[in-house]
Amino acid sequence: MNQEEKLLQDVSVIAHRLKELHNDAVIAYTPLVQELCDKKATQNEVERMLDWLLMYAGDERMLKLYKQVCRTYWKIYPESIAFYIMEYRKEYDRESLIGTEYEYLLHEDEMDKK
């Protein structure tokens, strides 16, 4: 096996493990999100859940859970939910910010380095 084949095999193994991790996250977080959305959670509880879900929100199933929390608590904690929606857009949907008043957020990392 040459180096290129070995690299492809290693990447394939990593991709498979990442998929398993996402599957495990969906299984673990689904009941937690349901429980959170069935009660009147504190702002801190909602924000903590969204922090965890954001790490996996590139997966459509986790994005669905993320949106469920946002929709449930939008009217109760609008500032927090707006922040987390923007965090999602910055991380996973950057193109949606282009041409909007929030386009500057795409360059935050560059500004932090200066």
Q: Over the stretch 45-83, which tens digit does the pLDDT of each residue have?
A: 999 999 999 998 888 999 999 999 999 999 999 999 999
Q: What's this model's pTM, rounded to 2 decimal places?
A: 0.79
Sign of CA dihedral 52, 64, 46, 32: negative
More confident residue, 96 or 42: 42
Q: In the chain, how long is the greatest CA-to-CA distance? A: 58
